[in-house]
A and B are shown apart, each in its own frame.
Chain A
Amino acid sequence: MSKQTHLTKELDHAVIRFAGDSGDGMQLTGGRFSETTAIIGNDLSTLPDYPAEIRAPAGTLAGVSAFQLHFGSVDIHTPGDRPDVLVAMNPAALKVHIKDLAPGGIIIINKNAFTEKYLKLAGYESNPLEDDSLIGNYTVYPVEMSKLVKNACESLDVPKKTVERTKNLMALGILFWMFNRPTEPTIRWLKEKFAKQPTIIEANIRALNAGYNYGSTTRILTTRYIVGKAKLPSGTYRNIHGNYATALGFVAAAERSGMSLFYGGYPITPASEILHTLSAWKQFGVKTFQAEDEIAGIASTIGAAYAGSLAVSATSGPGLALKAEALGLAVMAEIPLVIVNVMRGGPSTGLPTKMEQTDLLQALFGRNGEAPIPVIAAATPGDCFYASYEACRIAVKYMTPVLVLTDGYLANGSEPWRIPAAEDLPEFFPNFSPPDTGNGKFNPVKRDKKTQARPWAIPGTAGLEHRIGGLEKNYDTGEVCYDPDNHMKMVTARADRVKGITQDIDPLHVYGVEEGDLLVLSWGSTFGASRSAVSHLIKEEKSVAHAHLRWIHPLPKDLGDILSRYKTILIPEVNTGQLSLLIRATYPVNVKGYNQVRARPFKSQDIIDTINRQLD
């Protein structure tokens, strides 16, 4: 037989999904592949998908944890519709994820986990590696990962359990070989992470190499894939996750405004990483306060803002509900602060580790009384940085609480992010009132003409002693006032001040035809799927366009005009039509909603199909 060489195939993008038991380290494996392929120069988007339970019983369907990544030499906006390659570390992982795999896709399997016990736990009546359910439909590579890592680590003095745990690195090695990715960044990373445990480093490196060599020497895998560099705008990049970007945006805002950052919050999935990240940045003077509950989280934030800090907090839907009353106080007392809601599946505890866009109306209206709050939503993991930064700037400039909406997908997902220079971020300053040494009575509601913001008179400033609170106040003096006309005036003034923020909002960018049959109007994390759907259809010369809202309250000034130029406005949302409701109530346009509440991000194909149905 002649010596076989590997085939190579060029792809402009590929989707990989790693799936295994919660204890199999799939998030780590996916994360390492993403970091590596980012450094190589791919554009990418990731979607971690893990169960709410920390460790559901091993081998069960409930315990399956997965990580999907989409990378390419082309613009990547979504984590991909269907995986081309599925790594299944046990029968349960195969069972849960096989239905998503692209026809003819590749499956890499840890054969050693396909035991009678695990097959039964996954509900398989016969072994799919032996019956004909996979053959012909997919390319299946059963690899004895557990056995191979055992062999690789034979001479090492490490417990059996530890060796078994390295099998995810073996899988990663196979994928690195398959996609021509270097192992060095991961080796470097292992050495840093386990600096104090040299045998663990060694075991993991051996497993990684075993995987890589399995690809190159066994000739069982026939094809290697080449995915070239993406044509990203020039600059220095890093791979960034949404929650990290949010935290980074806060520190950047504090540094650029010269204010000290205070974060008061209560741990909640999927927002806690923002607290973790900020608590590790004490060298920037960041004060983090883990409060006793969600209410104390915002209450302490209000207190810190009142005292002159750049005060922020993050939570998820149920936490925002608990913060509602205090947000009303922040509206009434005109306290500048920023609250991030990392939206998850609801209602109630719902689906804590999954994403949804179901809190838009809660963010806009979920308070007693007329309590308008500006709302900005981040579009991508990297945009979480700019959304939180901009929220801080607006909060301080207009003396108002601001809500930032992100979601579980943005929070845990990642993408290459062009690192901005600090100097290029817009500067802003708190308008602290200077001390008053004369004896004139200080007027705490003497407003700025342009922004209608009250002066920020912080405790510790001589001569400005005054009282604020949650009771309605006189428009001119700030003193408690129950007069009906004054109340109407104040209700209007609060609304107008928020509306006035439109002067600070960039005009809406329209991608695609300037007028035509259909405009996709998206907000939040549906940006990616919408943009790839529209760009696909533009290539087919359809009369479509895409506009994306970052500010949802207030809406950009030019929105009405833009909407009026299309016959149909399609609004895709992972809710039952919350933005649709708002747009229909605000503009006389033909709105069609595309609404799926499956606690998963949209696939771009779903949006393409929906647009095509509308255009027919």
Chain B
Amino acid sequence: MGDKSMVNVKKLTRKDFSSDQMVRWCPGCGDYSILAQVQKTLPDIGVEKENIVFVSGIGCSSRFPYYMNTYGFHTIHGRAPAIASGVKIANPDLSVWIVTGDGDGLSIGGNHTIHILRRNIDVNILLFNNRIYGLTKGQYSPTSELGKVSKSTPMGSLDRPFNPPALALGSQATFVARAIDVDGKPLQSMIRRAQEHRGTSFLEIYQNCLIFNDGAYSHLTDKKTKEDTVLHLEHGKPMLFGKDKKKGVFLSKNTPKVVEIGEQWSESDILVHNEKDWIIASILSHFTYREDLPTPVGVLYAVDEPVYEDMMVDQISHAVSQNQKADLNSLLGSGDTWTVE
């Protein structure tokens, strides 16, 4: 969809993408910010409103389609990727968006998430990761840290969490990116990049659930700490962060570590980001949950690979061109036949 011509598209505004439904997330929920950024971005992507479909599963985040004045389908728990696959295959001209959460997309719907990624169907997945179950009122999720004390784990959770970008890369994803709910501009640009990518785009959005897991990402959003904890990735640029960009990621025998730019280290020692390099993306994905390393946001990985529905359309056109006389009567009467007078 990304390359669709912008000619003839009436210029829409954020308001055109807001439905008349009252938004019912808890006041202060990170979902509000994400909704706003999506509504702000969509007028600029060059797709007619009627060609946009939001598909969601179940969970707080999955109420999203109700608030968008586009086509929307609020489905059942975990199945949005599979439903969206059918939508996109049936009509490849549509711009299809999946809104899901860490429970919906990685737990009950984990199977569909990994399979849509491997197929590379051209849809955009927005995975709101708040590392908790909100709608069912506060159980730990598959991205909660080990030992998470929650309603269902009073003595701490026992299962190790998923690492979403690593999971996506392991599923052969062709686009993996991360953004943070309250960081409006970078989030907008990631939404745009996800839209532009042909193939399945996997955008993990760190989202604060202030009711059940408040502060999960405060170290990444707090003005005092965020410069030292967030690494903004830019293709072709060294991985610098911190105040005045004085910190950088150095790869010492395949092991990433943070170094200070100064006497011992210069900018030229710093690892340069390359979106098309799976090894670099893989290393970056394993920064997740590491306290000694910054949290990468931006595009970790973006490559062009064949798109599922393109290949399907090609196979069909080929079959059609090989069988000029494909008509129903000849199919009905194919095989050995005989006539009874």
Contacts and interface: CB of A to CB of B under 8 A. Distances in A.
A303 B82 contact: yes
B94 interface: yes
Nearest to A35: B336
A292 B112 contact: yes
Given A292-B111, A459-B91, A465-B50, A302 B336 contact: no
A301 interface: yes
Interface in B204-257: none
Q: From B83, B318, B327, name the one whose CB has the most chain A CB atoms within 10 angstroms.
A: B83
Contacts of A308: 90-91
Interface residues of A, number: 74
A300 B83 CA distance: 4
Nearest to B17: A465
Interface string B313-341: 00110111011001111011111111111
A285 to B, nearest CB: 6
Interface stretch (A229-237, A483-491, A507-515): A229-237
Contacts of B112: 292, 295-296, 299
B79 A299 contact: yes
Given A300-B82, A459-B53, A465-B49, A39 B90 contact: no
Contacts of A38: 336, 338
B79 A236 contact: no
Given A293-B111, A468-B72, A471-B74, A307 B322 contact: no
B85 A467 contact: no
Interface residues of B, number: 59
A282 to B, nearest CB: 4
A461 B89 contact: no
Interface string A226-252: 000100111111110000000010011
B75 A469 contact: yes
Given A299-B86, A303-B83, A419-B332, A459 B71 contact: yes
Given A289-B85, A461-B50, A467 B331 contact: no
B66 interface: yes
B51 interface: yes
A462 B86 contact: no
A422 B49 CA distance: 39
B73 interface: yes
Contacts of B315: 282
Interface string B70-107: 11111110010011111111110110000000000000
Contacts of B85: 289, 291, 296, 299-300, 303
Contact of A262 (B55, B89, B320, B328): B89
Nearest to A252: B328
B260 interface: no
B135 interface: no
A460 B51 contact: yes
A411 B213 CA distance: 53
A465 B70 contact: yes
A433 to B, nearest CB: 12
Contacts of A610: none
A270 interface: no
Q: From A41, A295, A301, A328, name the one whose CB has the most chain B CB atoms within 10 angstroms.
A: A295
Interface string B134-178: 000000000000000000000000000000000000000000000
Contacts of B59: none
Contact of B338 (A237, A291, A305): A237
A421 B55 CA distance: 41
Contacts of B91: 307-309, 458-460
5 contacts: A299-B85, A422-B328, A422-B329, A422-B332, A467-B19
Given A284-B326, A419-B337, 4 more contacts: A248-B332, A282-B320, A303-B89, A307-B94
Closest 8 CB pairs of A and B: A303-B86, A469-B74, A299-B82, A300-B86, A282-B319, A283-B323, A296-B82, A307-B90
